[in-house]
Amino acid sequence: MSLPEWQGRARSRSLLLVPPVLAFICAYIMMGFVTPENREPWLLRAALAAGLALGVVRGFFVEADVDNYGQARLPGARDGMLVTLVIAATMAIAIFMPLVSAPASAWVPYATSLAGFGATYLSGRAVVVYLRTRS
């Protein structure tokens, strides 16, 4: 869903909100991989708050072009690609690291927090861009 944004192609403004929803689904799934003794709720809360704050700030500075048909193009928004790739990598870490070794499962809360950071970053950015480009 993020590919048209990465390529700088025009797309419906409402489709800007789909990648953050998918990122939140990944983050919630990853929370299930964290064992109760390894949970660090303060870390996850801090990552969610920081991601949202940075995403909102970034949303104000993203250049957005809207055509006559309501299609939005974000030519300078390559940061979404990096965040999406980080979320995918952390998802792989959360799934496969506990299978490799038991001590490696201690890294899963950090991977989950990083995915939560990315999800709230994408959400904050998408909502601000959506609201800025309203007619």
What pLDDT shows up at residue 120?
92
The structural domains of the chain, with segments of one domain joined by +, span 3-132
135 pLDDT higher than 60: no
Judged against a pLDDT cut of 80, whether residue 9 lies above it is answered with no
Share above pLDDT 70 across residues of the chain, in percent, rounded to a whole number: 93
Structure confidence by residue, pLDDT tens digits, 55-107: 999 989 988 888 888 788 777 677 888 888 888 888 888 888 778 877 777 78
Secondary structure (H, E, C), 60-122 = HHCCCEECCCCEEECCCCCHHHHHHHHHHHHHHHHHHHHHHCCHHHHHHHHHHHHHHHHHHHH
**pLDDT on residue 111:** 85
The whole-number pLDDT of residue 68 equals: 82
**pLDDT above 90 coverage of the chain, percent:** 14
Tokens of residue 107, six digits? 């890294």
